[in-house]
Structures are given as structure tokens and as C-alpha cells.
Amino acid sequence: MAIIKIPYAKTYLEAEIPAERLLGVLTAKEQGRPPEDSAASERRDVHRECDDEAQQILVRQALGRPIGTKPLAELARNKRQIVIITSDHTRPVPSRITAPLLVNEIRATNPAAEIIFLIATGFHRASTRAELTDKFGGEFLNSIRVAMHDCRDDANMVKIGTLPSGGDLVINRLVTEADLLVAEGFIEPHFFAGFSGGRKSVLPGVASRVTVLANHSADFIAHANSRAGVLKGNLLHADMAYAADQAGLAFILNVAIDAGGKIIKAFAGHPHLAHEEGCRFVLTMAAVQAKPADIVITSNGGHPLDQNLYQAVKGMTAGEATVRPGGVIIMCAACADGHGGEDFYRWFADTPGGAAAVAEKILHIKPEDTLPDQWEAQILARVQRKARIIVVTELCNHQMIKNMHMQAAATIAEALDMAEGMVGKRSTITVIPNGISVVITS
């Protein structure tokens, strides 16, 4: 019997798999070690200062050798207002490490600059004070100015152009008022934009709902190149890169992280060149060969990305990439925040006929008529049309999950029993402990 640890919330679940049925465990190179238990975490805390120092060295090295542009300290010289875009509570960006170092770089040549951290919520809800404290650390948070982006706040948006796709490019007013625009983030495979990080800080990060809707059209989401690990020919990426240029994004600091959220590599400099180098590095870690199976067990890598079903779709797409047609995806996600979006939920709860009906409705929506969260519904419907989905959680309403045309279980063992009832007791199994950390190739 193989016992495999699956990240879940801030802990993990254990999957017990008969060895003769296990086809493979797909992990990124730096994600292969299992999650720590609470005792190991406590031991790790003892050495946290050493860990922090090692991560700071990696970031300082990247800032000292920027890719394709001048150092941040030089770019910041004589600038009055500097805006640093940073991710919200749904992304594990290690800002407690990176943000102070960015501020130090700026202050080295410009101690009087007004620095504003703009939280890139995209289409998400605002981050709470507690979530920001967890992100930055309380002491640093109390020392900085923070602004929360709201994509629906039209009064604080400015149109700066037209996207290659034809949609209006409208972004947060603070971005247009900045004398220098900087962004921090992290790079991982992204299920339709290819990779996170870089240009995504602007679109969808600090863009108007009008611009996000135009970029996330049904045609773009359905395109063959709108997949994890793909930038070339990715129409969503092309819009995003254009938006970053038009917004004047001048410098980025992006990091790659391991399974524990620790920085293993940092990339700083030109928004496109530094990001592309980071993507190449992440792909060398993330690319794994598919192991087609009747049952695939996966997750969203635990907290913070498994807070709701909306985010959990990302991990499901990893299962989609290696499950056999008609098979079962077992998705381990705490989903303590529920579905993550009323519009997303309603696509399924209010559509008789299941995934096929949802997909059919969305594919007939013109780009200019794109609706909130239809892209997430479109992708979930695509996954559901290939395989049945069982969500493992004891923190989320099971009836709500069923209303979205999925099944629910409290444990992996229960989910496996359900799956075997669908595809047989001798069904084959592939495990992807962290579905968002891999790019699965055929």
C-alpha cells in the first residue's frame, strides 16, 4: 500500500493507494517533498530566521543583477510617486521577504518617494486586514501605504487604450498617476494564461472589470494555446503583455517557490525579459509526463489556493490532463470560503442539463458580452465533460458542490469508494499532490 500526502488547507490528507493500481505520482521537481506535519513546522520555525536570510540573499542577488533594464534604485531616482503592484490573499507571494527589499532599493536613492502598494485583486474580493498582515507581517504593514484595487469602481479607473483583442484597456487610476510602476509576484503554471506573474499584475490584477471581461472571452478560453505552460500563441497572454506595456510597467520582481512557500529563485528587471526567464526556469521544474488513469487524485497545493471552488478549478485541470475520458477526478480542496463567486456558482446551479448545457451557453456568448466568472465556469464545464469530479472537503457545504454537478466526500477514502463505484474496483490511479505546480505533457 502506497501512502501519499496531499496538501489540504494548512495541513495535509493521506491517500492510501494499492501499489498495484498506482500508475504514478506526478510532482514538480522542487515540490516532491511531502508537506510538513505540525511538529515539523514547529522545528522549522526555530530555523526561520536562517531561512529568511537565505531567501533575502536570493532576492538581493536578483535585484543587483536585473535582467534587461537598469537597477530599481536607479529607475527610482527623482521619482515622486512609486506604485508597487502586489498580489492579493489568493496568491502565496512571500511579500514579507520581497516587499521590504523593494522598498529598501527605492529608498537607497529616493528616501522621499511616496510608495504605494496596490493590491491586485483582479476580479476577487478585497483582502482583509488579517490577510494583509499574514502577507506582509504586521510591523511592515503598519509602515506602508496600501490601496485596494476594485475592478468595479469605475470612478477610479482610466482608459489608456485598446487591447489587441479589441476590448477597452481600462486600469486603476493610481497606475496612471505613478511616476514609476513596479510589480512583485511569483511564477507558477497558470491554467489558461500559461504562467502567473509578470504582466498579470496589470491584467487582470489592476484592470477594470470591462477589460478583464474582454480578455477572458469564451473564444480565448477555448483556444488550444490557452493552457498551462504555454505563452507562444496564447491570445490571453498577448493582451496581458500589451496591457503591461501600455500601463508603463517598468520593473518586476518575481520569484519561484517550493512546496513550503520558500523562495528558491528570484528574477528581477524588465517586465517581459525577466518574466520569460522565470517561466523557463519554472517549466524545467514543472513539466511532467502524463500517466493516463481511470482515477486521478489532485489538489490545489493547500492554503491559500484551496480556499474556494473557484480557485480549485485550477487543480482540476491538472487532473483533466491525465485522466482517461469517462474517468474520475478526486479534488482535495478545503473550500472554507465556499464556491468563491456567486456568478460562477449560478452557471451550474441554474443550468439544467449539466456541463454540456453550461458549455453550450458560454460558447455562444460574444466577446463584447462576456459575463463575470464565465471563464471559470467554462473551464469547469470542460473538465466535467471529460470526467466526473468528487471534491474532498469537510469545510464546505456538500449540497452546494452537488448543485454544481459534482460529488462530495469528507475523506479521500470515501471518495475512492465512490470513484470505484463509477469505474470499478480494479481501476488505475494517478496522484498529483499539487495540481497547480505541474505542466502535464502527453
Contacts of 25 (CB under 8 A, 6+ apart): 2, 4, 430, 431, 432, 433
Sequence-separated (6 or more) residues with CB below 8 Å from residue 61? 266
CA 286/CA 281 separation, integer angstroms: 9
Using an 8 Å Cβ cutoff, are 278 and 365 in contact?
no
On the CB side of 201, how many CA atoms lie within 13 Å of its CA?
34
What's the fold here for domain 2-26+290-441? Answer: 2-enoyl-CoA Hydratase; Chain A, domain 1 (3.90.226)
Question: How deeply is 58 buried, as exposed, middle or buried, from its count of CB atoms within 10 A (0-12, 13-18, 19+)?
Answer: middle
- The CA distance from 212 to 196, in Å, is 15
| 254: nearest Cα among 388, 31, 63, 53 | 63
Tell me, what's the pLDDT at 91? Answer: 87
d(CA 145, CA 171): 20
Bridge partner list, 329: 296, 389
Q: What is the pLDDT of residue 34?
A: 43
Is residue 216 within 8 A of residue 207, CB to CB? The reply is no
- Rounded to whole angstroms, what are the CA distances from 182 to 34, 191, 221, 244, 293? 34, 25, 28, 11, 44
Q: Which of 190, 216, 339, 405 is catalytic?
A: 190
* pLDDT at 31 (0 to 100): 52
Domain with CATH 3.90.226.30 in the chain: 2-26+290-441
Positive or negative, the Cα torsion across 225, 228, 231, 235? Answer: positive
Told to judge if 223 belongs to the known catalytic residues of this protein, a careful annotator would answer no
Residues 6+ apart with CB under 8 A from 245: 271
Cα separation, 373 vs 405, in Å, equals 17
Residue 42: what pLDDT? 46
Instruction: Identify the CATH class of 42-285.
Output: alpha beta
Residues with pLDDT less than 70, the chain = 30-49
Grid cell listed for 121? 485583486
- Could you confirm whether 190 is annotated as catalytic? yes
Query: Which regions of the chain carry the CATH code 3.40.50.11440?
Result: 42-285
Residue 335 CA to residue 64 CA, distance in Å, equals 40
Using only C-alpha atoms, the chain has a radius of gyration, in whole angstroms, of 21
Number of Cβ within a 10 Å radius of residue 271: 27
Q: Grid cell 508603463 — which residue?
A: 248
Cβ 214 vs Cβ 165: under 8 Å: yes
Among 89, 124, 149, 275, the one annotated catalytic: 124
**Strands 249-257 and 157-162, bridge-based pairing:** unpaired
Crossing angle, helix 95-109 and helix 48-64, to 10 degrees?
40
Residue 171, CA distances (Å) to 101, 209, 363 in order: 26, 9, 27
